[in-house]
Structure formats: C-alpha cells, structure tokens
C-alpha cells in the first residue's frame, strides 16, 4: 500500500487560523467554486441525516448531522462534515453551541487523507455564502446591516461582510443578552473602526433598519413578520426558523442553496410545500444558478429578496480541501498513522 494512504494529516483550529482560516478570502473563492459546481451538477451530495434522540421535547438545534459530499471539478475531492449542536452548551457547559470535524478522502483510493477541526470552517463558509449572495441579491452599495443574534456565527457573518464590502457604514444588532451584543462590538470595532455599531432594543428595531438582514439565532419558532422589512432588503436567513411564513410568500424572490435540502426536516419551506402554498415552481433560483448567470439576481432596488441557505457539504469539503492544500505546502499540522 502507498505510504501516503497509511497516514492522515490532522489540523486543529490553531493550525487552520495560521493558514488564513479566520478571514474571508479563502472561503469566498472555495464557496464560489462549490456553488458554481452545484449549478453545473458536478457534485454528489446525499441528503444529510439528522441524528436526534430527544423526541418531541428536543430543541430544534439539538442534533448531530452527517454531511458527505464529492466535488468533481478540476481538483476532485470527497469528504464528510460531522457536526454536533446543543443549544444550551454556552450556558450549561461553557462551550460553543456547535462543534465539528471534517474528514477528507482521496477520490481514487477512498482512503482518508485529512481530519480537521470543522466548526471554524463551517461558520466561515456559511458567512461566505451570505457575502457571495449579497453581491447578486443586495442593493448595490448597501450601507446598513442588521444582525439578530450576537454569538460566534454573527461574528463570522459580520466580519466576512465587513471585509468584503467597505461601503458598509452601520451595523444594527439585537440579542436578548445585551452583553452578547456589546461583546460582539468589542470584537469587531478594533478591526473596523470606521463602522458604527448600534445595539437596538428589539428585533423589530434592528430588522427594520437593515438593507441586509442576517439572522444568527437558535430560534425554533418564527417571529419576524414581513411588515418589519425595508423595501429593497436582502435577507440571509442563516438560522432558518426566524421568519414567518408570509415572508416567504410575499418576498419578491426566494432563493435557496439547494432545493432538496431546503424542502425537508419540517423547516418553513417544507411546511409551506406541505400546505400547498409554495413549490419548486415558485422558487426564483438556487444560488449557484445566479452565480453562473443561468438565473437573474436583483433587478430593482425595491425588491425584497430572501436567501434560505440550509448549508451544503460541498461547501465544507471545498473549503477544507483548500486549507488542506495550504497545510501541505506550508508543512502545517501533524501526520497520524492509520496503521
């Protein structure tokens, strides 16, 4: 057996940060490539299974998800993200809500070639989806961003947007825990001193002021009505369950990353489909179709556009592979023997 196939490269989060994994450029490129491959159908990605054992009383954010994928573009790669989430980790265990590992496999032998910490990659690739979508779906030159929920996901979303769009002038924040919003401001202000960060006293106040609106919560029930939204708003529905059904039905365009992934697990789109009020035919596009020019993005400054991105394994695998290649080039990480 080839010696390369009998060992794996292990990368912890510090290694990934050292390789540039805490800022957006690497993710923007890799996610853009993954979304383009998705639109061209050059991938394999089974529907991700959700492992739950709390029954009807379990929180929607309490699960472990297996996310396998194969990307077959110029540099083919296969892999899996294994991501755990427990909504009360921060309060009860002083841990981040989500944790993850990503495994990469050689597409020829199918042997594993790398294992790496995945929560940073997962959060940053999700932020890259928002930032890429904003280029096509937000009003040109947007100046205001609203973010509901001020934890680690919000930090990555806002850092990525602020790195990519230097015309952002004001960020409106709301969190039930005011200290979370204040901590988020402290983390961002040093890197973006020209931006005004405002803590709003309600979700309504924050949402109504945003040209770009991002939800980063663990909400299990919708609470944001259509009436809160500004004309011309672009919504990145990161945490999936925050917007009421009417937002999906009244928005000028609804965009998803992958229809099959979005229409499942009793999320809002799936509820609407089961009720007969929404369908694939009413969907405007999958995001990759807009990126490659197959479908239109924003057409007027008045459109309200909703992006409902469930998150795809091809994004994780593409980003992890980009980091793996840099690690090999820079001799970063630790090799572990399989045998």
In the predicted model, what is the mean pLDDT of residues 310-339? 97
Helix (H) or strand (E) holding 17: helix 13-18
**At residue 178, does pLDDT exceed 50?**
yes
Residue 20 in domain:
yes
Q: What is the pLDDT of residue 4?
A: 61
Indicate if 48 belongs to the active site.
no
User: 134, exposed or middle or buried, with CB in 10 Å at 0-12, 13-18, 19+?
Assistant: buried
In percent, how much of the chain has pLDDT > 70? 99
Residue 129 in domain:
no
**At residue 1, does pLDDT exceed 50?**
no
Query: Do 156 and 228 belong to one domain?
Result: yes
Coarse DSSP helix, strand, coil percentages of the chain, rounded to the nearest 5 percent: 40, 25, 40
Backbone angles phi and psi of 249, in degrees to 5: -85, -25
Q: What is the pLDDT of residue 6?
A: 86
Residue with the larger pLDDT of the pair 13 and 3: 13
Tell me the β-bridge partners of 78. Answer: 70, 105
Residue 126 in domain:
no
Total domains in the chain come to 2
Query: Do 322 and 196 belong to one domain?
Result: no
Q: What is the pLDDT of residue 111?
A: 95
Residue 130 in domain:
no
Q: What is the pLDDT of residue 128?
A: 98
Query: Do 117 and 219 belong to one domain?
Result: no
Question: Please, what sign has the CA dihedral across residues 21, 25, 31, 33?
Answer: negative
Q: Of the candidates 184, 213, 240, 247, which has an alpha carbon nearest to the alpha carbon of residue 65?
A: 240
Q: Domain range spanning residue 9?
A: 3-121+313-337
Token representation of residue 158: 């806002």
Query: Do 163 and 206 belong to one domain?
Result: yes
**Apex 132 CA angle, 127 and 134, nearest 5:** 95
How many other C-beta atoms can be found within 10 angstroms of the C-beta atom of residue 296? 12
Token representation of residue 303: 């459109």
CATH number (domain holding residue 296) = 3.40.50.720
> How is 61-120 classified by DSSP, letter by letter?
T-EEEEEEEEE-SSS-EEEEEEEEE-TTIIIIISS-SEEEEEEEE-TTT--EEEEEE-HH
Query: Do 333 and 270 belong to one domain?
Result: no
Query: Do 37 and 52 belong to one domain?
Result: yes
Q: What is the pLDDT of residue 55?
A: 86
Query: Do 160 and 258 belong to one domain?
Result: yes
In the predicted model, what is the mean pLDDT of residues 164-190? 97
| Close Cβ partners of 37 (under 8 Å, ≥ 6 residues apart) | 43, 71, 72, 73, 288, 314, 318
CATH number (domain holding residue 19) = 3.30.1780.10
In the predicted model, what is the mean pLDDT of residues 39-63? 91
Query: Do 66 and 215 belong to one domain?
Result: no
pLDDT, tens digit, 9 for 90 and up, residues 101-150: 999 999 999 999 999 999 999 999 999 999 999 999 999 999 999 999 99
| Close Cβ partners of 264 (under 8 Å, ≥ 6 residues apart) | 47, 270
pLDDT grade for 3, boundaries at 50, 70 and 90: low
Query: Do 223 and 77 belong to one domain?
Result: no
Q: What is the pLDDT of residue 61?
A: 87
pLDDT grade for 60, boundaries at 50, 70 and 90: confident
Query: Do 104 and 161 belong to one domain?
Result: no
Alpha carbon 288 to chain centroid, angstroms: 14
Low-confidence winner among 202-206, 212-216, 219-223, 250-254 (lowest mean pLDDT): 219-223
Question: Please, what sign has the CA dihedral across residues 174, 118, 23, 45?
Answer: negative
In percent, how much of the chain has pLDDT > 90? 91
Q: Catalytic: which of 48, 81, 253, 267? A: 81
Q: What is the pLDDT of residue 56?
A: 81
- Beta strands 285-286; 212-215: pairing state: unpaired
Query: Do 290 and 325 belong to one domain?
Result: no
Q: What is the pLDDT of residue 204?
A: 98
Token representation of residue 246: 């009417």
pLDDT, tens digit, 9 for 90 and up, residues 240-290: 999 999 999 999 999 999 999 999 878 899 999 999 999 999 999 999 999
Query: Do 9 and 26 belong to one domain?
Result: yes
**Apex 271 CA angle, 268 and 272, nearest 5:** 90
């Amino acid at each position: 057996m080839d010696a390369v196939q009998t060992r794996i490269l292990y990368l912890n989060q510090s290694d990934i940060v050292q390789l540039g994994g805490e800022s957006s450029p690497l993710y923007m490129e890799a996610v853009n490539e993954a979304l383009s491959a998705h639109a061209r159908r050059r991938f394999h990605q089974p529907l991700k299974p959700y492992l739950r054992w709390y029954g009807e009383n379990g929180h929607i954010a309490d699960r472990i998800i297996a996310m396998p994928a194969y990307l077959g573009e110029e540099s083919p790669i296969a892999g899996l993200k294994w991501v755990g989430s427990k909504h009360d980790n921060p309060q009860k265990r002083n841990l981040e809500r989500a944790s993850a590992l990503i495994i990469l496999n050689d597409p020829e032998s199918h042997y594993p070639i790398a294992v790496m910490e995945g929560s940073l990659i997962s959060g940053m690739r999700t932020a890259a989806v928002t930032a890429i979508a904003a280029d096509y779906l937000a009003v040109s030159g947007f100046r205001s961003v609203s973010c509901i929920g001020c934890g680690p996901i919000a930090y990555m979303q806002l850092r990525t947007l602020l790195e990519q769009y230097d015309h952002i002038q004001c960020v409106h924040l709301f969190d039930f825990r005011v200290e979370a919003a204040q901590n988020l401001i402290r983390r961002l202000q040093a890197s973006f001193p020209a931006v005004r960060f405002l803590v709003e006293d309600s979700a309504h106040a924050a949402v109504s002021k945003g040209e770009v609106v991002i939800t980063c919560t663990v909400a299990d029930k919708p609470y944001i009505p259509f009436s809160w939204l500004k004309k011309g708003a672009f919504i990145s529905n990161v945490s999936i369950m925050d917007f009421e059904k009417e937002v999906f039905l009244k928005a000028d365009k609804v965009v998803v990353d992958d229809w099959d992934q979005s229409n499942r697990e009793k999320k809002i789109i799936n509820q609407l489909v089961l009720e007969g009020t929404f369908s694939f035919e009413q969907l405007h596009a999958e995001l990759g179709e807009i990126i490659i020019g197959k479908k239109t993005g924003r057409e007027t400054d008045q459109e309200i556009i909703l992006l409902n991105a469930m998150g795809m394994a091809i994004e994780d695998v593409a980003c992890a592979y980009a980091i793996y290649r840099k690690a090999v080039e820079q001799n970063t990480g630790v090799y572990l023997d399989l045998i």
